[in-house]
Amino acid sequence: MGTGDGGPSRPVTRILGIDPGSQRTGVGIIDVDAAGKTTHVYHAPLVLLGADDFPQRLRRLLDGLADIITTWQPDEVAIEKVFMARNPDSALKLGQARGAAISAVVLRDLPVHEYAAKEVKLAVVGRGSAEKGQIQHMVGIMLNLHGKLQADAADALAVAITHAHVRATAKRLGVSSQLAWSRK
């Protein structure tokens, strides 16, 4: 993890990937070394169902992410952007869950990088129209994971991998991650 003064206290950057959802939020953590090699650290879905009401789901999300951040100490965070759903109520709930996730992260002074689902699919599978099963398969191969990955956690790992790729490209170009990806 970085020390904040420019000097690393470990030779890798730890990236927390978040795939926000109002029922389940996927979280995935990878380490990336200076050469760009990614290593799996942790993944799981945060299950928000079972709460008394929607505000309590958001509370579970905030508390769950706070625990993960405290336990795993990520350096940077990558989160999937909201896509326009057909159901306006679902889109609003997804947006609220995403906002709660971003709040949990920025309250701990972590930088947040945002990626659209199409960008993640393109970075991980090579096609912006890839299906969930393809993402799960490629994430498993890239991180040398065995067995079927839960979809939300696989998506979160994919967001983290996407950010690792963007960071590496930005470093080679000598520009910020936001600038490297904004020139699509």
> pTM for this structure?
0.89
Examine the pLDDT at 113 and tell me if it is beyond 80: yes
pLDDT for res 91: 87
Using 50, 70 and 90 to split pLDDT, how confident is the model at 179?
low
Q: Which residues contact 120 (CB under 8 A, 6 or more apart)?
A: 80, 135, 155, 158, 159, 162
Q: Catalytic residues, which ones?
A: 19, 80, 152
Confidence of residue 151 (pLDDT cuts 50, 70, 90): very high
Tokens matching residue 17: 């990937």
Question: Is the domain defined by 12-182 classed in CATH 3.40.630.10?
Answer: no
Q: Is the dihedral of CA 174, 155, 91, 129 positive or negative?
A: positive
Please give the average per-residue pLDDT across 100-108, as a whole number: 97
Provide the residue ranges of all domains of the chain, joining segments of one domain with +.
12-182
